[in-house]
Chain A
Amino acid sequence: MKLDKCRSCGLCKANCPIYNATLRETIGARGRAILIKKEVLTDIYYTCSLCKSCDTECPAGIELSKEIRKMRERMVEEGKETEANKAMIDNIRKYGNPFGKIEKGKFPDKLYCC
């Protein structure tokens, strides 16, 4: 179901792990939904863990996680993806992992990629 059915009731953020960790509406489930409806291209879509809690909570049956993925795709198509995302994709293509070159028996310098 598309986001035109979303009335911003806010129930989607009840178990949103990012919202609950930050208590910043903008990078929680409802904030992302509002930004998608306004077609704002922003790094904020990359802060979603795609856990689908918002999909489960939505009383209108909207699959917000799918809409967030679509916005990420659009950002890539329009060359507006994050630098971290570009580096991650490059690393996967080159080294088969998101972290980059890893010497055998050693750990990557950073255990995060975006």
Chain B
Amino acid sequence: MPSIADIAASKDEEDRLVYAQDASGLEGKTLTVVWPANAAEVQSIVKNALESRTDIVPRGGGTDLAGAAVPDNSIVLDLTRMNKIIEIGSDYAIVEPGIVLDDLNRELAKKDLFLPVIPSSHSVCTIGGMISCNAAGVRAIKYGKMREWVSELTVVTGNGDIISVSGKQLDDFCGTEGTAGIITRARLRLAKPLKRYTASVYKLGTAQELAERTREAVKNDNVIAVEYMDKLTCKLSGDEDAYKLFIEYESDEGDIKDPAEIEKRMHNRNIIGQTLSSKGYIVIEDPRIPHEKIPEFLEYLSGKQIPSFGHIGIGVIHARLKTDQDLEGFHEMVQSLGGDVSGEHGIGLTKRKYASSDMKNKIAGLKKKYDPENILNRGKIIDYETR
């Protein structure tokens, strides 16, 4: 096993400050930043941390919106230097966790393949992070979430063991935000790139009309993305006062035929979150709402002046609040409608209070199994005893 002294690390003040944050807006405290080069080094770091009972926070691109990569007197384990593509097969790839999604897809394109889960942070997010938060994306209606594209993982557990998992056991590490193990290798399923796609944009007057058009769209097998912006989001983005529905088709049905124009509109969609953040809407929520309840939820948001947008085709509503808006009331509304607290960003720190008991029980069980000393991403999803 590699000596801990030989692993790249820093305790510089600048590194500790920068690695104390992710994209959630939260800030913690970093003890040390480490940059392992391989699974053996990750294992060495974990065993060393076990001896000192120090918390480890695994980190990829640092784009988490719920604080899953924010340390709390922790070692931050930056996996971005473990970014190799180990193998590309006819319909799969084996990669290290630190590879950036766009970098992987650029290589896959040479073999007429791609990983179709595309979150808006695709230019900087890593595969390990996408697996850990079970990322989705604008085409989730066709391609689902990251879990569906993972067939095997190599993981360093909180016991310091290196294990390989597949099948049902993948659920222990996909979407559990680094609380059970640190992913060091992934075998991914791949798709063939879309050969043709078109899109249409619809302007709608009410939430009811928006929901009805969405219901029609999801019944169409050619539809691959159904995205919306509410009236307030449109207004804040300098657009007209209407609900906007963006539907992408894997056929010629759409009005917009030029792929470059579609990509431009998709890019504009991808940066809405940052636009809202820059206008003070910095509390990031992503509940999943049952389809039949979406009009009621959108009316509620409109009444509270909470802008929203997102993957309405799968019921994921990206709502943005200001810090002085009623977050408790927001979550009460989500619960009363039978919604889930998070559709794709994960629970992390920001939504821990609102996580379901099922999710909390699952993490508690995984801790007993894989991380009994609770050194991996302590305090994420479930509470912890302060050390």
Q: Which residues of A contact B (CB under 8 A)?
A: 1, 5, 7-11, 13-15, 23-26, 30-31, 34-35, 38, 40, 42, 44, 57-61
Contact = CB atoms under 8 A, between A and B. Distances in A.
B277 interface: yes
A60 B78 contact: no
Given A35-B14, A57-B123, A58-B274, 11 more contacts: A7-B23, A9-B273, A10-B62, A24-B15, A25-B19, A25-B78, A26-B14, A59-B273, A59-B275, A59-B278, A60-B278
Interface of B: 10, 12-15, 17-19, 21-23, 25, 35, 61-63, 78, 80-81, 83, 98, 102, 121, 123-124, 271, 273-275, 277-278, 282
Contacts of B274: 7, 9, 11, 58-60
A34 B62 CA distance: 13
Contacts of A34: 17-18, 21
A10 B101 CA distance: 14
15 contacts: A5-B277, A7-B23, A7-B278, A8-B25, A9-B23, A9-B277, A13-B124, A23-B83, A24-B35, A30-B18, A35-B14, A35-B18, A59-B271, A59-B274, A60-B278
Sorted from nearest, which 4 A-B pairs have the closest CB atoms? A59-B274, A59-B271, A14-B123, A60-B278
A9 B78 contact: no
A10 B278 contact: no
Contacts of A10: 23, 61-63, 121, 124
B268 to A, nearest CB: 10
A14 B124 contact: yes
Given A9-B121, A13-B124, A25-B19, A31 B275 contact: no
A24 B102 CA distance: 19
Instruction: Name the residue among A5, A23, A57 with the largest chain B CB count within 10 angstroms.
Output: A23
A26 B12 contact: yes
A15 to B, nearest CB: 8
Contacts, number: 83
Nearest to B24: A8
A109 B363 CA distance: 60
Nearest to A33: B18
Given A8-B22, A60-B274, A25 B124 contact: no
A7 B15 CA distance: 18
A11 B124 contact: yes
Contacts of A25: 15, 18-19, 62, 78, 80
B12 A5 contact: no
Contacts of B81: 23
B25 A31 contact: no
Nearest to B271: A59
Contacts of B61: 10
Contact of A42 (B10, B14, B78, B102): B14
B17 A35 contact: yes
A14 B35 CA distance: 19
Nearest to A61: B278
A31 B18 contact: yes
Contacts of A11: 121, 123-124, 271, 274
Contacts of A23: 35, 78, 80-81, 83, 98
Contacts of A15: 123
Contacts of B10: 26
A42 to B, nearest CB: 6
Nearest to B79: A23
Nearest to A34: B18
A9 B282 CA distance: 11
A31 B16 CA distance: 11
A111 to B, nearest CB: 28
B306 to A, nearest CB: 17
Contacts of B98: 23
A113 B78 CA distance: 31
B35 to A, nearest CB: 7
Given A9-B121, A13-B124, A23-B35, A60 B18 contact: no
B269 to A, nearest CB: 11
A60 B17 contact: no
B21 A8 contact: yes
Contact of A40 (B14, B22, B83): B14
A14 to B, nearest CB: 4
Contacts of B80: 23, 25
Given A8-B25, A10-B63, A59-B271, A31 B78 contact: no
